[in-house]
Amino acid sequence: MLEDIKVALVTGGNRGIGYELVKQLALNGFKVILTSRDLEKGHKAALKCKESNLNVSFLMLDIDNPESIHQAVSIINERFGRLDVLINNAGVYLDRNKKLVDIDPSILERTMATNFFGAYHVIRSFIPLMEKQGYGRIINVSSEYGSMGEMSYPGVGAYKLSKLALNGLTRLLAAEIKGDIQINAVDPGWVSTDMGGPSAPRTPKQAAESILWLATTGSKGPNGEFFKDGKRIDW
């Protein structure tokens, strides 16, 4: 039955890991909503998927803009009436390798606005759609840079703090959310994307595979955990 097709949304889905996640979800039978803050790039990326007969639609979503998030929620509610999988993939990496106290404070503020508050507002806004059906899988694309151990080393401070906060949010919400709704964080590793750079050893496809299994876990699956390549890692 068509009604049973699960709906997945990926933020920052127009390139890199996000685009690969969109494709892989669609290949696995999901209706996928590719979101991007860039209208033209988002449309182009979704069109490429459709040309491959993948069930992908585009929705403009700027996670830094609460009004844009609210609009997206009402469009998805109207069009699909549900959201089964939410992947918070959109993020920024604005650091140069300086001490945190030496960077312009606006870099920390902008990094936290997207990597932490953006994900927070997206989750908070979409949770009611999941609670309505008592089911949901939320995956936060994090980084090992966000682990407590990394705080003992200098540099990349804004990015590290934003991912540390995202990891904390993952654990806290896992404790608060009721029903068969699971939320986990994943470190995709160092990936060859615009953000990761060309010398990174991992492809977006490998990174997507390390994330995607959490989209289809059963009711006894993990909740409030941090993973890399399918294995639990320390916060």
Nearest to 214 by CA among 34, 87, 126: 87
**Ramachandran region of residue 17, left (φ > 0), alpha (ψ -120 to 50) or beta?**
alpha
Contact 117, 164 (CB under 8 A): no
How many folded domains does the chain comprise? Answer: 1
Of 191 and 6, which is predicted with more confidence?
Answer: 6
Interval 131-183: pLDDT, tens:
999 999 999 999 999 999 999 999 999 999 999 999 999 999 999 999 999 99
Contact 63, 121 (CB under 8 A): yes
Greatest distance between any 2 Cα atoms in the chain: 57
Q: In whole numbers, what is the pLDDT of the chain averaged over residues?
A: 93
**Is pLDDT at 191 greater than 70 in this prediction?**
no
Interval 32-62: pLDDT, tens:
999 999 999 999 999 999 999 999 999 999 9
**Is pLDDT at 69 greater than 80 in this prediction?**
yes
The answer to pTM > 0.85 is yes
- For residue 159, count other CB atoms closer than 10 A to its CB: 24
CATH number of 23's domain: 3.40.50.720
Q: Are strands 231-232 and 226-228 parallel, antiparallel or unpaired?
A: antiparallel
194 confidence band (pLDDT: 50, 70, 90): low
Interval 221-235: pLDDT, tens:
999 999 999 999 999
Q: Which of 19, 135, 153, 159 is catalytic?
A: 159
Of 196 and 44, which is predicted with more confidence?
Answer: 44
Nearest to 216 by CA among 133, 139, 103: 139
State the pLDDT at residue 3.
56
**211: domain range?**
2-232
159 among known catalytic residues: yes
Burial class (CB in 10 A: 0-12, 13-18, 19+), 100: middle
Task: Give the C-alpha separation, 2 to 96, whole Å.
Answer: 48
